[in-house]
Structures are given as C-alpha cells and as structure tokens.
A and B are shown apart, each in its own frame.
Chain A
Amino acid sequence: MDSPFARLTLPARIDSVPAFHEFVRVGAESAGLEAPEMDWLDLVLEEILVNIARYAYQPGTGDMEVGYAVAQPRMLLVEISDRGNAFNPLASDPPVLGGGLADRPIGGLGVFLVKNIVGSLAYRREQDRNTVSFTFPGPNQAGA
C-alpha cells in the first residue's frame, strides 16, 4: 500500500530548514491552513530540525527527513526523523521561565515552544531511527 505521507530527505544542516518549510507549506496549503498558521508551522519545524542538525549526528553527519499527510481538513500530521544518536527531545527538562533578566537561562525554549504550539506530540525510536510526530494546528490555535 502506498504511504499517505509525502516525504523529503535532506542533509541534517541548518541551511536545509528553508527547503523543508517550503515542502511542508505545500501540504499546509492543501489542508486549507492560512498564512499566519504556516508561520507557526515553520517555527515548529525549525525548532525540531535545528536540534537534529546540531546534535543528532555529532561528531559526524547524516540526513533528516520530513513527511506530512493531511490528517483531516485543516489538520496536518507531520513526522520528522533522523538516524542519529538515540535522543528523545520531548523528555528534556522544562525551561526555567521565572526569575529576573540577569539570571534567566539562555536556551531550552525550542522544545517548550513546540509543546505549546502543536496538537498531539510523540517520539519513538524504531531500529536506528528517531521520529518525532505531531499534529498541527494544536488546540491553542496559535496564530489564529
């Protein structure tokens, strides 16, 4: 049976992110999502893909893959995977969001943003592959 997913594989580098944005926007348009929602979708993709580009294959290099399917009208199902080191980004500690300017830690906000923007969100490790999957948009309707 054919997979319902459209898929794109590119080198796990930060400069691959714009091509993934363009690729998934095709799916977002066919799902009927609006332009402001697509910016939020770009943000989710960037946060996950940049983590892969920076950490998944250290100290080597590899690929990352994005697949999407229109789950239902106005809802996209997205899967992002790599064959790098086993790593569940969703299990990372929540960032410190309190305190003053001087002691506010820099970083840790990417996964936090993802969790606040998407709908269902999951990680799985199958054979040698990390996969993060999510539905978009989430219940908070960011950007709506």
Chain B
Amino acid sequence: MNIEPTELEKAIVLKVVGRMDAENADDFQQACERWIAQGARHLIADLDGLQYVSSMGLRAFLAVAQKLHSLSGSLILCGLHGLPRQVFEMTRLLSLFPVYDDVQQAIDTL
C-alpha cells in the first residue's frame, strides 16, 4: 500500500493505492493521525487505487473518522469501488462516511 498526501487549503487528500490489510492498516491510521495532530480537520481519502481492504483496514477508517468527528471534522471517502466498496456496504459502514465519486466533488463540499 502506498499513501500519497496532498495538502490543500481546506483539507488533506490522502491517495491510497494497493491493498490495506492487517500488516499495513496501522500505517494509514498513523498517517491520518499525524495530519490531525498538525491541525487538519478534514481528510479526503482518495480510494480509486485501493484494491483490497480487510477488517483491520475498516477499523483504521472508523477510528480516524471517529477521531475527526469528535473534533468537528470529517474523513471523506472518494472513489470507492470493487471489493473495498462492497466490504464497506456489507458491514454497513458506508452510510457513516461522506462518500463521493471523486476528490473534486469532495473538495467542493468543504
């Protein structure tokens, strides 16, 4: 899994590419927490390149979203498709996140 951050005026975009599993889900969570510690309140996860996510990845998304929610911020998901989207739907997590087709749509809402 590769995580590429882009700093915008109102949010940080984290482009996630590859597979998020038990070995590397913490890397995503820690990357998000570093941005939150630096003051970011809206994180946009660009998941167009995410091919796979297991329950350990879901935990990371949920933990980050709850942290941001408690700070009046948000974790926005973009580009979810394939297995990751079905896993979010199956576990009824999808409705707990702001979800957009692409990053530009998410930026426009902030």
Interchain nearest-CB distance for A80 vs B (Å)? 15
Q: For A36, A50, A101, A107, which residue has the most chain B Cβ atoms within 10 angstroms?
A: A101
Question: Are B91's CB and A97's CB within 8 A?
Answer: yes
Q: Is the interface of A mostly helix, strand, loop or mixed?
A: helix
Q: How many residues of B contact A (CB 8 A)?
A: 26
**B37: shortest Cβ distance to chain A, in Å?**
20
With A and B bound together, what is the CA distance between A121 and B81 in angstroms?
A: 27
Chain A residues positioned under 8 Å from B63 (CB to CB): 106
Q: Residues 75-110 of chain B: 1 if any A CB is under 8 Å from the residue's CB, otherwise 0?
A: 000000011001100111100110000000000000
CB–CB B22/A36 < 8 A: no
Cα-based distance from A116 to B90 in the complex (angstroms): 8
Contacts A14-B23, A104-B62, A107-B59 given; indicate if A143 touches B54 (C-beta within 8 A): no
Could you tell me the distance in whole angstroms from the C-beta of B36 to the nearest C-beta in chain A?
16
* B59 and A97 form a contact (CB under 8 A): no
Do B96 and A14 touch across chains, with their CB atoms under 8 A apart?
A: no
Shortest distance from the beta carbon of B72 to any chain A beta carbon, whole Å: 12
- Contacting residues, chain A, for B90 (C-beta < 8 A): 113, 116
Q: Which of A47, A101, A109 contacts B96 (CB 8 A)?
A: A101
Chain A 37-60, CB-CB to B under 8 Å as 1, else 0, gives 001101100110010000000000
Q: Determine the chain A residues whose CB is within 8 A of the CB of B58 once the complex forms.
A: 109
- Chain A residues with CB under 8 A of B2: none
Q: Which residues of A contact B92 (CB under 8 A)?
A: 97-98
Residues of A within 8 A of B97 (CB): 101
Instruction: Tell me if A109 and B55 are in contact (CB < 8 A).
Output: yes
Q: Which residues of A contact B54 (CB under 8 A)?
A: 43, 46-47, 50, 110, 113
Are B51 and A113 in contact, CB atoms less than 8 angstroms apart? no
- What residues make up the interface of A, taking CB atoms closer than 8 Å to B? 14-15, 17-18, 36, 39-40, 42-43, 46-47, 50, 95, 97-98, 100-102, 104, 106-107, 109-110, 112-113, 116, 142-143
Interface of B toward A, CB cutoff 8 Å: 21-23, 51-52, 54-56, 58-59, 62-63, 65-66, 69-70, 82-83, 86-87, 90-93, 96-97
For this complex, 22 residue pairs linking A to B, each with C-beta atoms less than 8 Å apart, are A15-B23, A17-B22, A17-B23, A36-B83, A40-B83, A42-B52, A46-B21, A47-B54, A50-B54, A95-B91, A101-B62, A101-B65, A101-B69, A102-B69, A104-B93, A107-B55, A107-B59, A109-B91, A113-B54, A113-B55, A116-B90, A143-B83
